[in-house]
C-alpha cells in the first residue's frame, strides 16, 4: 500500500460542523473475518468491509452491503422499465448478500450503531467508548510501522494496531480514538478480526441508513434477546404469519447459532 501523504493533509484540515451529509476524502477497505457461531469454527466467514472517512464524519459497513444496495436499486429500475407480460417482477436472489450486518456512523464525537433484527434496522447511540491503553510494542504491517493499544469494549477485550504515519483517529467499527489510523484490530478470542488491505482517495457521500427504528442500547439488546429466545414468536408478531409447527425447533436452533456480536 502506498502512503497517502496528500490525503492526510485533506483529512487534517478541519471544517465547521455541518448537519448536511458530506463526501469522503478516502476509503479504507478491511478484510474482516468472523464467526457467526462462536461454538463452531466451521462458521468462519470472510468479507470486505469499508470505512469512508470525511472531515467531520465517517461510516463503516460491509462493502458487499454497499454493492447489494446499489445493485438492488438498479434491479428495481430495470424491472419497472421492462415488465414481463404487464407485470413488474423484482428478483434479488442472484445478488450476493452481505453477512456482516452492523454499521457505524460517526459524526463529530457521536457514534451511532445500526444493526438489524428480523429485517428491521435499529439505531442506537453507543453509550460506551473504548478507553485505550497504549502499549510500548511495535510491529510492521504491510508498509506501516504500527503501535499496539488495548482496550475494553463492553464484554470484549480489544487489541488494536495503529500507525502514526497516518494521523487520523479512525478505525473499523467503533475502534477509534487512537493517535493514528487502525491498521489491524481483533478481540482476544479472535471471533472478529479486521485487517486493512487497501486505502485510496475516494469521494462518495457519507450517509447512514434512513429507514430505521431509533432506540437505545438496552432496548436493542432486549429486542435481540427476545428474538433469539423465540424467533418463531417474533416472526408471528412482526408479520402475522405462523411458522409451521414442524419447523419451529429447526428455526429456533438456526437463529440461536447466530450468536457472535461485536457489541
> Using an 8 Å Cβ cutoff, are 173 and 152 in contact?
no
Per-residue pLDDT of the chain (263 residues; tens, 9 = 90+): 555 544 444 444 433 334 578 999 999 999 999 999 999 999 999 999 999 999 999 999 999 876 666 555 565 555 566 666 666 655 555 656 778 999 999 999 999 999 999 889 999 999 888 999 999 999 999 999 999 999 999 889 999 999 999 999 999 999 999 999 999 999 999 999 999 999 999 999 998 988 899 999 999 999 999 998 998 888 888 788 888 888 888 888 888 888 899 88
For residues 163-199, one letter each, b for 16 or more C-beta atoms within 10 angstroms of the residue's C-beta and e for the rest, the string is bebbebebbbbbbbbbebbbbbbbbeeebbbbbbeeb
Q: Domain check: are 247 and 119 in the same one?
A: no
Which phi and psi (to 5°) does residue 151 adopt? -160, 170
Q: Domain check: are 127 and 159 in the same one?
A: yes
Q: Domain check: are 116 and 238 in the same one?
A: no
d(CA 162, CA 38): 27
Q: Domain check: are 30 and 133 in the same one?
A: yes
Within a domain: residue 183? yes
For residues 8-28, one letter each, b for 16 or more C-beta atoms within 10 angstroms of the residue's C-beta and e for the rest, the string is beebeeeeeeeeeebebbbbb
Question: Residue 81: enclosing H or E segment and its boundaries?
Answer: helix 63-81
Q: Domain check: are 114 and 137 in the same one?
A: yes
Q: Domain check: are 39 and 142 in the same one?
A: yes
How many folded domains does the chain comprise? 2
Within a domain: residue 244? yes
Q: What is the pLDDT of residue 82?
A: 66
Q: Domain check: are 197 and 237 in the same one?
A: no
Q: What is the pLDDT of residue 186?
A: 98
Within a domain: residue 29? yes
Which of 139, 159, 149, 163 lies closest to 8, judged by CA?
A: 163
**The domain containing residue 237 runs over which residues?**
214-256
Amino acid at each position: 500500500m502506498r502512503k497517502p501523504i496528500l490525503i492526510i493533509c485533506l483529512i487534517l484540515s478541519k471544517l465547521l460542523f455541518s448537519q448536511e451529509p458530506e463526501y469522503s476524502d478516502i476509503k479504507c477497505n478491511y478484510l474482516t473475518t468472523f464467526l457467526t457461531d462462536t461454538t463452531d469454527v466451521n462458521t468462519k466467514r470472510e468479507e470486505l468491509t469499508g470505512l469512508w472517512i470525511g472531515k467531520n464524519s465517517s461510516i463503516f459497513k460491509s462493502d458487499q452491503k454497499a454493492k447489494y444496495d446499489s445493485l438492488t436499486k438498479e434491479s428495481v429500475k430495470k424491472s419497472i422499465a421492462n415488465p414481463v407480460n404487464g407485470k413488474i417482477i423484482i428478483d434479488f436472489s442472484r445478488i450476493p448478500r452481505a453477512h456482516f450486518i452492523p454499521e457505524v456512523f460517526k459524526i463529530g464525537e457521536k457514534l451511532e450503531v445500526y444493526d438489524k433484527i428480523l429485517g428491521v434496522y435499529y439505531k442506537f447511540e453507543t453509550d460506551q467508548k473504548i478507553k485505550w491503553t497504549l502499549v510500548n510494542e511495535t510491529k510492521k504491517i504491510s508498509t506501516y510501522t504500527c503501535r499496539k493499544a488495548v482496550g475494553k469494549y463492553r464484554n470484549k477485550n480489544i487489541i488494536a494496531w495503529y500507525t502514526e504515519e497516518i494521523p487520523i483517529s479512525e478505525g473499523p467499527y467503533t475502534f477509534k480514538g487512537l493517535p493514528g489510523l487502525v491498521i489491524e484490530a481483533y478481540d482476544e478470542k479472535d471471533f472478529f478480526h479486521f485487517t486493512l488491505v487497501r486505502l485510496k482517495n475516494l469521494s462518495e457521500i457519507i450517509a447512514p441508513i434512513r429507514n430505521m427504528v431509533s432506540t437505545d442500547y438496552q432496548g436493542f439488546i432486549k429486542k435481540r434477546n427476545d428474538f433469539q429466545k423465540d424467533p418463531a414468536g417474533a416472526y408471528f408478531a412482526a408479520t402475522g404469519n405462523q411458522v409451521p409447527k414442524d419447523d419451529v425447533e429447526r428455526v429456533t436452533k438456526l437463529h440461536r447459532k447466530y450468536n457472535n456480536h461485536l457489541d
